[in-house]
Amino acid sequence: MNLDEPSSIGGFFALRTGAPGSGHTALSRIHGGDLTALTARVDRVASRLGTPERRVAASIAHLGLAARIWSTALGPAVLCGEFPDPVPGTLYWDPELTAPDDLCWSGRQTRPAAVDTLREAVLEGQLVPLAEALRTEARISPRLLRGNTGSALAGALRELTRWARAHGRPDVARRAAHLVTGLLEHPELSGTVHGPALRRTTCCLYYRSPGGGLCGDCVFDRAPSAGPDSRRGL
């Protein structure tokens, strides 16, 4: 499987392969309870945003990683008809790096592109346990994390659709829409986004960070008060 074409969609779709670097940690270790890398990323995001609220930093960290994991599977699935199989011990993450070097796949197996295979390998195998691990690291609503996962998937679809239009590939747009529509029907993601624009039904809390605002797909039309009792959308 050649990952060069998926990488051309954008940095979030690029996936490093081969031996992981010294700072990489297998995501399966995080799922198993080793939260060192996850804590480091949340700390880094909190510092970058200047937010004293750990749940805000945890949500933004989660949204970014979920987007990377979805993109590096969905891009190859749509363009190559298969995707890297992230079996335990083959998908690594470095919390100090950014795309495309943050994720590294050391595996050799691929899986055929289908709603069921993506659901099993990516959603159930990677993103559900990641959300569970994050809730151990920070007090954050499971509904919000499901919203992040759905929003990240919808964002990957938007980028694929944009690339398909720019390259005259309506077949790519159709395949991407088919896969994402099927994935969004899963109980874990059902109701996380709605409408033709796939606007999310929860808020990632970015507006609560100093100088933060609303994301393009936010449930809010106007940022609510960021006071301690503002919990709508969690």
Domain boundaries, the chain: 4-208
Written as six digits, the tokens of 213 are 């605002």
Q: How far apart are CA 56 and CA 146, in angstroms?
A: 15
pLDDT band at 227 (very low <50, low <70, confident <90, very high): low
Provide the pLDDT confidence category of residue 2 given band limits of 50, 70 and 90: confident
Residue 229 confidence (pLDDT): 38
Phi, psi of 125 (to 5 degrees): -80, -25
One DSSP character per residue, 108-142 reads: --EEE--HHHHIIIIIIIIIHHHHHHHHHHS---H
Does 198 score more than 50 pLDDT? yes
Instruction: Write the pLDDT tens digit of every residue in 62-87.
Output: 999 999 999 999 999 999 999 999 99
pLDDT in tens, 140-172: 999 999 999 999 999 999 999 999 999 999 999
Work out the burial of residue 22: count CB atoms within 10 Å of its CB; fewer than 13 is exposed, 13-18 middle, 19 or more buried. exposed
Which pLDDT score is estimated for 228?
47
pTM for the model stands at 0.94
Separation between Cα atoms, residue 134 and residue 224, nearest integer Å? 25
Calculate the average pLDDT of the chain.
94
pLDDT value of position 221: 87
For residue 214, pLDDT over 60 is answered with yes
Chain centroid to Cα 74, Å, comes to 11
Q: For the purposes of burial, counting CB atoms within 10 Å of the CB of 157, is it exposed (0-12), middle (13-18) or buried (19 or more)?
A: buried
Look at residue 54 in the predicted model and tell me its pLDDT: 96
In the chain, % of residues over pLDDT 70: 96
Task: Return the closest-CA partner of residue 91 out of 65, 112, 114, 59.
Answer: 65
